[in-house]
Amino acid sequence: MRAVKLVSPGKMELQEVERPVPGPDEVLVRIAGAGLCHSDLHVLHMGEEWPFFGGTVGHEGSGRVESWGADVDGFAEGDAVLVSVVWACGHCRACVEGRDNACEVNGSRHMFPTTPGLGPDGAMADYMVTKARYLDRIGDLDPVAAAPLADAGVTPMHAINSARSRLTPGSTAVVIAVGGLGHMGLQILKATTGARIIAVDNDESKLAIAREHGADLVLKSDADTAQRILDETNGYGADVVFDFVGVQPTVDLATKVVSPEGALRFVGLGGGTFTFGADSNTAVLPWGVNVQRSYGGTRADQLEVIALAQQGKIAVETVTYPLADFQRAFDDLEAGKVPGRAILVP
Ligand code: NAD
Ligand code: ZN
């Protein structure tokens, strides 16, 4: 079978490899779609320190069950499934408390839990194996378009769920960046909260997507964006700000527009630095702001995302590429030319 391998810094290759055989507790999934995440680009640009060269890329995978090991039951051939991003142990305190995206056993203080495509072989291939317990059924959802739900859906869902108490009707939410994650975050906010949504991006074509998906106000990011948001909120600020970029200008924007007791959710991995003033003369943050460096999501978040998609309340805007055209897909993502999510189709 074919698999996209990250072979060395900046270099991916389509290789012919052995089709994996599922172990006793594993399922072999025939991949229907594999989403491209901006995190894959971050990894591609890492140096020799990246520990997983040689692995198959792709942490957003969905497809159909092909075969399974002796200890697996409950699946039928052809079942449509979504592969979880978080391969947690299921037994540690974090997992048992429902915080499996912070698993103590398969992750560590500074390393997220085991993730397919960022360690174990991922979804950019004809087939992948996973433990059966990392699969969720997606029923009649199109298994190609469902792939990004695993991250571009689940990660914003987690950030939103953690700030849900501030997303009451009458509140204002700011979504910074309407890319893969942002366009799903916007739809989840629209479908599950009464918040007024302000979408910000520096690319007009992404703002058009925000308009289509029901943003109440869209703003091209420039020097006036912070003031515009403050003006829209009587100078008080936005209740929740989601930063799906994380570069210094967006971290600063988020910090400048959040309201007292508001929530900042930093999701993007752009390398920006967050600071707050500790005394009232230098304070950049209003009192009471809750800040989270949000990672992925839980299995419960994933079930919610699948349910919303099945109800037709959220949908991934997709651009598909044949698996063999992976390089073109990554180049388009890097150039900012992908509306919604790019998906490789084997
Ligand atoms: P994407 O490439 O699909 O979208 C990025 C969007 O950001 C585009 O719409 C682009 O126009 C916009 N943008 C870029 N710079 C901007 C700026 N200065 N101001 C406003 N908008 C700007 O990326 P994605 O796949 O949605 O990922 C977004 C970020 O989230 C990446 O850094 C990715 O690594 C990270 N990520 C984090 C997690 C997590 O668990 N924390 C999970 C997945 C992805
Ligand atoms: Zn990702």
Closest CA to 241 of 297, 166, 137, 181: 166
As a whole number of angstroms, the distance between CA 178 and CA 45 comes to 22
Report the atom number in ligand 1 closest to the C-alpha of 206. 9
Which residue CA neighbors atom 2 of ligand 1 most closely? 38
- Look at residue 281 in the predicted model and tell me its pLDDT: 66
> How many angstroms separate the alpha carbon of residue 38 from the centre of ligand 1?
6
Residue 280 pLDDT > 70: no
Ligand nearest to the CA of 222: 1
> How many angstroms separate the alpha carbon of residue 69 from the centre of ligand 1?
37
> How many angstroms separate the alpha carbon of residue 154 from the centre of ligand 2?
10
Does the fold of domain 155-293 match that of domain 2-151+296-345? no
ipTM of the complex: 0.99
pTM > 0.90: yes
- Look at residue 241 in the predicted model and tell me its pLDDT: 98
> How many angstroms separate the alpha carbon of residue 278 from the centre of ligand 2?
33
Structure token pair of residue 271: 């390398």
Residue 282 pLDDT > 90: no
Report the atom number in ligand 1 closest to the C-alpha of 203. 11
Contact between residue 84 and residue 165 where contact means Cβ atoms under 8 Å apart: no
- Look at residue 276 in the predicted model and tell me its pLDDT: 86
Rounded mean pLDDT of 14-18? 98
Range 155-293: architecture per CATH: 3-Layer(aba) Sandwich (3.40)
Q: How confident is the model at residue 284 (pLDDT cuts 50, 70, 90)?
A: confident
- Please list all protein residues whose beta carbon sits less than 5 angstroms from ligand 2, which is an ion: 37, 39, 151
Report the atom number in ligand 1 closest to the C-alpha of 269. 32
Residue 263 pLDDT > 90: yes
Report the atom number in ligand 1 closest to the C-alpha of 297. 40
As a whole number of angstroms, the distance between CA 15 and CA 20 comes to 14
Backbone angles phi, psi at 199, to 5 degrees: -105, 140
* CATH level 3 topology of 2-151+296-345: Quinone Oxidoreductase; Chain A, domain 1 (3.90.180)
> How many angstroms separate the alpha carbon of residue 113 from the centre of ligand 2?
13
As a whole number of angstroms, the distance between CA 84 and CA 28 comes to 14
- Look at residue 162 in the predicted model and tell me its pLDDT: 98
Closest CA to 239 of 270, 204, 218, 263: 263
Which residue CA neighbors atom 23 of ligand 1 most closely? 38
Which residue CA neighbors atom 13 of ligand 1 most closely? 177
pLDDT digits (tens, 9 = 90+) for 124-178: 999 999 999 999 999 999 999 999 999 999 999 999 999 999 999 999 999 999 9
Domain ranges in the chain are 2-151+296-345, 155-293
Maximum Cα–Cα distance across the chain = 66
pLDDT digits (tens, 9 = 90+) for 199-257: 999 999 999 999 999 899 999 999 999 999 999 999 999 999 999 999 999 999 999 99
- Residue list, ligand 1 pocket, CB within 6 Å: 37-39, 42, 151, 155, 176-182, 200-203, 206, 221, 244-247, 249-250, 267-270, 294-296, 333, 336
Which residue CA neighbors atom 27 of ligand 1 most closely? 38
